[in-house]
Amino acid sequence: MEGGGHIKIIARNKKARFDYELSDRFEAGLVLAGTEVKSLRMGKASLSEAYARIKNGEVWLVGCQIQPYPFAYYDNHDPTRPRKLLLHKREIKRLTGKLAEQGYSLIPVALYFKRGKAKVELALGKGKKRHDKRAAIKRREQEREMARAMKH
């Protein structure tokens, strides 16, 4: 998420770092309906169950929850509909190659506004095994203990 412009974060996928070993990151635009944009501006979104998939040479965000806009009387959007992501063709080809490798998934890490446009940060992730997760928890607890000891 580096680069110029003001960034307003709407939602983060906190479990992504815990469940996956994240590597390459990509920034993609989203194709949204008007009520979805208004709902995002209110911060009504969740990436906890979301993932991205490539279908017919297009990248789609699946499982992302954008709550219905409360002030729309009719023609409100479906909160869980698949949303098309905008990436360059060469990025999609690179992602297709990486996803063909064993164990890689395309994980949405953050949803944010950049210069007034809704963007999603995607990362290539390789699923962690249970013992890797335990090691991460142990390391985090040790760091907390060290921070407490330094404080006193």
Mean pLDDT value of segment 44-70: 83
Q: Residue-wise over 86-124: b if at least 16 C-beta within 10 A, else e? A: ebeeebbeebeeeeeeeebbbbbbbbbbbeeebbbbbbb
Whole-number pLDDT of residue 36: 81
Whole-number pLDDT of residue 139: 79
Torsions phi, psi for 4 (to 5 deg) = -80, 175
The answer on pLDDT for 110 being more than 80 is yes
pLDDT in tens, 78-91: 777 888 888 898 88
| Mean pLDDT score across all residues of the chain | 80
DSSP string, 4-58: SS-EEEEEE-HHHHHHEEEEEEEEEEE---HHHHHHHHTT-EE-TT-EEEEETTE
Whole-number pLDDT of residue 4: 55
Looking at residue 144, its amino acid is R
Domains contained in the chain, CATH given = 7-151 (2.40.280.10)
The answer on pLDDT for 3 being more than 60 is no
Share of the chain above pLDDT 90, in %: 0
Residue 63's Cβ-side half-sphere holds a number of Cα atoms within 13 Å equal to 11
The answer on pLDDT for 132 being more than 80 is no
Whole-number pLDDT of residue 138: 77
Whole-number pLDDT of residue 151: 77
